[in-house]
Structure 1
Amino acid sequence: MVIIGSLFIYIGWRIWKKEQITLIHRYHYEKVSAENKKPYTEKMGKAMILMGIGIALTGIADFIFHTSYCWCIFAICFIGGLVIMIVSQIKYNHGIF
């Protein structure tokens, strides 16, 4: 899980800092205007990083503590990232698809 979380963090960083909008599927950014590209990629990248942190922390915590409560970290971060992505999609792409 740490490897998958790290991959999410890396891709999120590339989307956010390098503004590589092409890492997102084309129909998710077709209607994003040129002036909204920077805030869109920033929010989408940060949401991806949040998801990655949740995945990595869940893997580490589950390895150390061996309890199912560690999955709460995953749920909180993943749902939080998903909500940020959906709100950004609606705001900048004028719809989810």
Structure 2
Amino acid sequence: MENKHTNHNENKHNKNNNSRFGFSTASLILGILGFFLGYLTLGIPLSLLGLIFGIVGIVKKQGGLAIGGTVISCIGILLSLFFIIFFNGDPYYFINQLITKKIF
């Protein structure tokens, strides 16, 4: 009987431990997506969500994943803003400028 009680507590502890990194993992995934989709305007909302989840993860002391997600999300936001400011939010702006000016 005592062994069943111990297993129940271990399972409960493992369940809480596995769900502990939810915000950090979400921050890292959204930060990476925002970084790679930074040349589209889609990168900004993904990176903003990643930044928010990363800050929540840092506050909840979820470790390095939260810090990594926050950093990558900030880079994704900066990259998206760079493309919006310099390329008018069009991922093919540079290619279109090369074609229309007949640089080739």
User: Would you call these one fold, judging by a TM-score over 0.5?
Assistant: no
Point out the structure with max Rg over C-alpha: 2
Q: TM-score, normalised by structure 2?
A: 0.37
Q: TM-score, normalised by structure 1?
A: 0.39
